[in-house]
Structure 1
C-alpha cells in the first residue's frame, strides 16, 4: 500500500465515482474509499471526522456539479430547449446515485456549516429562473407556489425513476413531461 498523502478532494471524487459505479452508500466507509485510492485508511482522517462527514462533502460536490449545469446568466427559459428542467433531469439520469445521496439518504452526522451556501444555491437558482420564465402578470408569491408544485412533482417522479419504480416509457419522456407540467403551471390558466 502506498504511503503518500491523498488530498481531501480525491476522497470526495472517489466517493462520487464509486456511487456512479453502483457501490451502495452503506458500503462507502473511509477504509473502502482509501483502499480504492491506494492509501492507508488513516489518511482519510486527515480530512474527515467520519464516513458521514465524507458523505456530506460528496453531497456538496455533487450539488456543485449540478450547479455548474445551470449558469444563471445564460440559462434558457422554460419555453426554450435546454432549460433548467431538461438539464436537471439529464443530470439525474447520468448520476442517479448522486441524486439519491442529495435527496434520499439520511446522513446521521450534522451538516458541516461550510456546505450551507452550496445546499441553498439550487433552490435560489430555480426560483430566479422561474421568475424570469413566468409571465409578467404573475406575482412573486404565485411564482413561488408554481415552484413548489413543480419541484415536488419533479422530485417525486425522479425518485420513482432512480428507484426503478417507473416504466421505461415514462422514464424516456420524464424531461418532456416535467417541462410540460412547468409550462402548464406557468402559462396555463391556474393564475390567469
Structure 2
C-alpha cells in the first residue's frame, strides 16, 4: 500500500515525538529502533523510510526538543515583568516540575553526557540549537538592561542552570535537590538585579 506525503510526514513526526521523550527519559543508548517503532505500532523496517539511521534520529530529536525549550523561554520572557526576563527563564528552568519530568525538559541536562560521544553531525545539530538558546538568553539580558559588568553572560547562566538541574536530578536527598535549584535561581536573580518571587 502506498501512502501520501501527508501520511508519511505524520508518521515521521510521531517517531520524532516519541524519540524526544524516550531519549530524555531513558537515555539515547537505552532506546533501540526496534522497540521505539514497536511502541508506535510500526515496523522496524519502516523506520528507514523516515530516517537514515539512529544517529540521524538522535540529531533531529535533539533539535526538535531544544527548539521547544527555546520557545518556552520566549513565552516566559513575554510574560515577565520589565527587567525580569532572565530571572523568569531561570525560574521556569529551575523548577521542581522541570526536575521531576526530564522526558519533556532540557536536552542538555538530560543528554549532554551522552551527546559528547556521538558523531560530529549530531554534535553540530546540538551546538546549533544550543547557540540559539544562548541567543535567547542574550536577548533577555539586553531587554532587561542590566549593566554588563554585573550580569551573568548567557553562557554562564546556561551552564549554571544546566549544572544545577543535572545535580538536582542526581542526588537522593530531596532537600539538597531543591536547595541546588534555589541557589542557582538566587544567583541569577542577584546578577540580573531582580528579586526572586
TM-score normalized by structure 2? 0.72
CA distance in 2 between partners of 1:155 and 1:14 (Å): 23
Q: Does the 8 Å contact 2:138/2:154 carry over to 1?
A: yes
Report 1 or 2 for greater relative contact order, CA contacts < 8 Å, sequence distance ≥ 6: 2
CA distance in 2 between partners of 1:49 and 1:70 (Å): 31
* Aligned equivalent of 1:176: 182
Picking from 25, 33, 42, the partner of 1:39 is 42
Higher helix share: 2
- Structure 2's unaligned 5+ residue stretches are none
* Aligned equivalent of 1:58: 61
CA distance in 2 between partners of 1:119 and 1:151 (Å): 9
| 1:6-25 matched pairs, under 5 angstroms | 7-19=11-23, 22-25=25-28
* Aligned equivalent of 1:103: 112
* Aligned equivalent of 2:141: 130
> Is 1:27 the equivalent of 2:30?
yes
Give the match's secondary structure for 1:28.
coil
* Aligned equivalent of 1:88: 93
TM-score normalized by structure 1? 0.74
Q: RMSD value over aligned CA atoms?
A: 3.4
